[in-house]
């Protein structure tokens, strides 16, 4: 297979002087074009005064053209799938709730679900949900087989690196245009660098939600983390909203919102007070709440933080995501979808979905992207939680199978943001310490086996690491999409809108860029 031979021989050979020259070109391009992070600091100053380039791959990474197009195509089906999951309250109650679901043993999930349930009982006033999604994949090629596409996870909250991935793709196109990479490989040709317009696509989703809210003077609220280093991935969305759609953005943390956010008791209009003289009453109405924070327990240090999240959810503003859509992105949902008939029930049940049902081959495409998964709490039938085993402390089928297959597995909790998983040889010792009552919060997933032999030059800012370091690598592809849905009187709108590549050293299990494991990369399409 041509693509496999390219991977095993990547990157092309260059002299040290050529690598150094490309590194200077890459880092100065990054610094000139906003491919940046704020530098590490115990506390960021109120006014940023310096920046560093984001971690980068010097070469784009080869990826089979047909599989890349396949990943883009099935994003449309994934958009619909997760939109339907978010609207299926009974399913989410059963899988993520506090009675028999994950929320029973996971306090963070339980708090979110309990608050959502209370708000549902009160009556939610905004039927629309906005999702800015990212589906992440690795190539799977066990025992030298031809690569296939396998999903790592589906992100429904704070799906990041859209802007920086677009800039990374532009950087690689620039390096090729300016240096031709010293004619080191025939694969480095213009039509092998796909366009990446992720920012415009994500912003279109936000602008569509804003328009549906039907108040052109309203603002979009970005809920952000304090001391955010990844601000240069967020600001381009803000700039594009203003430049193309004349939509203003206000950025606030949960702590700031606890003091600034108010709801009209009758209309549930969300207003945010802000320190600006542009508004005579000192506050702005919010059309859409875009969460770039709120996905991790550490962000909810006090009950006041949950109170603020629920106040936003209670409002008339469109949430991106709603709590329902955030819960839909849970790892337990991903595992349940692999069970017989569950995926088909969401996509191909003509009784429920009518003309919107998907053809069998479209559903099969998604199922083929799944790896094997099961819950640590499951019994022999792999479907029903083995509550007797949980109560007695005995090891049930799910745990025993995880022990037996540990070298080929990863254990995942219901967490986002990287650094939360347990891999391979660490699994048995972890299971020794995992209380039986907590098993329900974890899933076991068969590890994806990437093609071997690919390398790249990785560049990180600071000290000796500033030079390009060659390493054997694994590259993860993410496909972005968005969907606006939920109002029975309005047709769902959804699109596939862009992509990213994150590349890490092969010895690293985790893949997060913000958490320091990966570098930003882009796709080089290869045939075969």
Question: Phi and psi of 469, rounded to 5°?
Answer: -110, 120
C-alpha angle 104/107/113, rounded to 5°? 70
- What is the rounded CA–CA span in Å between residue 385 and residue 94? 11
Helix, strand or coil, per DSSP, at residue 476: strand
- What is the rounded CA–CA span in Å between residue 347 and residue 374? 21
Q: Which helix (H) or strand (E) holds 140?
A: strand 129-140
- Whether 266 is catalytic is no
Of 84, 167, 271, 412, the active-site residue reads 412
Residues within the annotated binding site for ATP?
153, 331, 412-421, 423, 445-448, 476, 504, 510
Of 417, 453, 505, 516, the active-site residue reads 417
Dihedral over alpha carbons 224, 232, 329, 293 (to 10 degrees): -10
Of 313, 416, 494, 496, the active-site residue reads 416
- Whether 417 is catalytic is yes
- Whether 344 is catalytic is no
Of 3, 155, 176, 369, the active-site residue reads 155
- Whether 335 is catalytic is no
- Whether 341 is catalytic is no
The closest alpha carbon to 447, from 419, 481, 421, 423, belongs to 423
Residues within the annotated binding site for substrate?
134, 157-160, 228-230, 234, 292-295, 502, 513-514
- Whether 455 is catalytic is no
Residues within the annotated binding site?
134, 153, 155, 157-160, 228-230, 234, 292-295, 331, 412-421, 423, 445-448, 476, 502, 504, 510, 513-514
Contact by Cβ (8 Å): 21, 175: no
Q: Hey, what long-range contacts does 118-126 have (CB within 8 A, 24 or more apart)?
A: 118/310, 119/310, 119/313, 119/314, 119/323, 120/89, 122/314, 124/313, 124/314, 125/268, 125/314, 125/315, 125/316, 126/268, 126/315, 126/316, 126/317, 126/318, 126/319
The closest alpha carbon to 247, from 213, 282, 291, 283, belongs to 213
Which residues, in sequence order, are bridge partners of residue 446?
A: 409
Residues within the annotated binding site for Mg(2+)?
153, 155, 416
Sign of CA dihedral 123, 125, 131, 132: negative
Of 153, 166, 285, 494, the active-site residue reads 153
- Whether 331 is catalytic is yes
Relative orientation angle of helices 107-122 and 89-96, to the nearest 10 degrees: 150
Helix, strand or coil, per DSSP, at residue 202: helix
Of 65, 502, 511, 518, the active-site residue reads 502
Of 65, 104, 134, 314, the active-site residue reads 134
- Whether 214 is catalytic is no
Of 61, 160, 165, 192, the active-site residue reads 160
- Whether 195 is catalytic is no
- What is the rounded CA–CA span in Å between residue 53 and residue 247? 29
Of 167, 316, 331, 332, the active-site residue reads 331
Q: Which helix (H) or strand (E) holds 401?
A: helix 397-404
Catalytic residues: 134, 153, 155, 160, 331, 412, 416-417, 502
């Amino acid at each position: 297979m041509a693509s496999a031979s390219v991977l095993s021989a990547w990157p092309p050979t260059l002299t040290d002087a050529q690598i150094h020259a490309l590194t200077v070109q890459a880092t100065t391009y990054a610094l000139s074009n906003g491919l940046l992070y704020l530098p590490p600091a115990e506390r960021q100053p109120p006014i940023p005064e310096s920046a560093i380039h984001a971690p980068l791959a010097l070469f784009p990474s080869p990826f089979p053209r047909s599989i890349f197009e396949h990943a883009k195509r099935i994003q449309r089906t994934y958009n619909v799938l997760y939109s339907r999951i978010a609207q299926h309250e009974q399913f989410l109650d059963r899988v993520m709730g506090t009675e028999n679901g994950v929320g029973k043993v996971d306090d963070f999930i339980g708090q979110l679900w309990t608050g959502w349930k209370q708000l549902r009982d009160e009556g939610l006033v905004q039927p629309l949900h906005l999702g800015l999604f990212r589906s992440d994949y690795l190539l799977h090629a066990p025992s030298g087989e031809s690569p296939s596409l396998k999903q790592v996870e589906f992100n429904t909250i704070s799906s990041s690196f859209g802007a920086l991935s677009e800039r990374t793709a532009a950087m690689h196109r620039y390096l090729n245009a300016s240096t031709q990479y010293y004619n080191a490989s025939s694969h480095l040709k213009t039509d092998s660098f796909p366009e990446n317009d992720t920012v415009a696509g994500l912003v279109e989703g936000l602008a569509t939600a804003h328009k549906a809210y039907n108040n052109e003077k309203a603002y979009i609220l970005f809920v952000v983390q304090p001391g955010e280093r990844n601000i240069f991935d967020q600001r381009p969305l803000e700039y594009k909203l203003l430049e193309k759609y004349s939509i203003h953005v206000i950025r606030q943390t949960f702590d700031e919102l606890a003091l600034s956010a108010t709801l009209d008791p009758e209309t549930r209009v969300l207003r945010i007070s802000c320190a600006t003289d542009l508004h005579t009453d000192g506050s702005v109405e919010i059309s859409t709440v875009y969460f770039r924070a709120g996905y991790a327990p550490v962000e909810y240090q006090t009950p006041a933080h949950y109170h603020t999240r629920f106040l936003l959810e209670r409002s008339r503003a469109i949430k991106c995501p709603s709590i329902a859509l955030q819960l839909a992105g849970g790892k337990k949902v991903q595992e349940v979808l692999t069970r017989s008939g569950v995926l088909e029930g969401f996509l191909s049940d003509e009784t429920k979905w009518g003309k919107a049902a998907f053809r069998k081959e479209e559903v099969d495409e998604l199922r083929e992207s799944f790896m094997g998964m099961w819950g640590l709490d499951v019994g022999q039938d792999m479907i029903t939680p083995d509550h007797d085993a949980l109560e007695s402390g005995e090891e049930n089928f799910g745990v025993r199978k995880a022990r037996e297959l540990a070298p080929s597995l990863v254990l995942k909790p219901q967490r986002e943001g990287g650094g939360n998983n347990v891999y391979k040889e660490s699994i048995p010792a972890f299971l020794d310490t995992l209380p039986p009552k907590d098993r329900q919060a974890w899933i076991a997933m068969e590890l994806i086996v990437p093609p071997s032999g690919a390398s790249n030059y990785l560049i990180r800012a600071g000290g000796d690491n500033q030079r390009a370091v060659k390493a054997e690598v694994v590259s993860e592809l993410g496909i972005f999409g968005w969907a606006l849905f939920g109002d029975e009187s309005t047709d769902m709108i959804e699109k596939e809108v862009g992509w990213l590549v994150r590349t890490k050293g092969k010895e690293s299990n985790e893949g997060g860029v913000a958490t320091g494991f990966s570098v930003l990369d882009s796709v080089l399409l290869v045939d075969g």
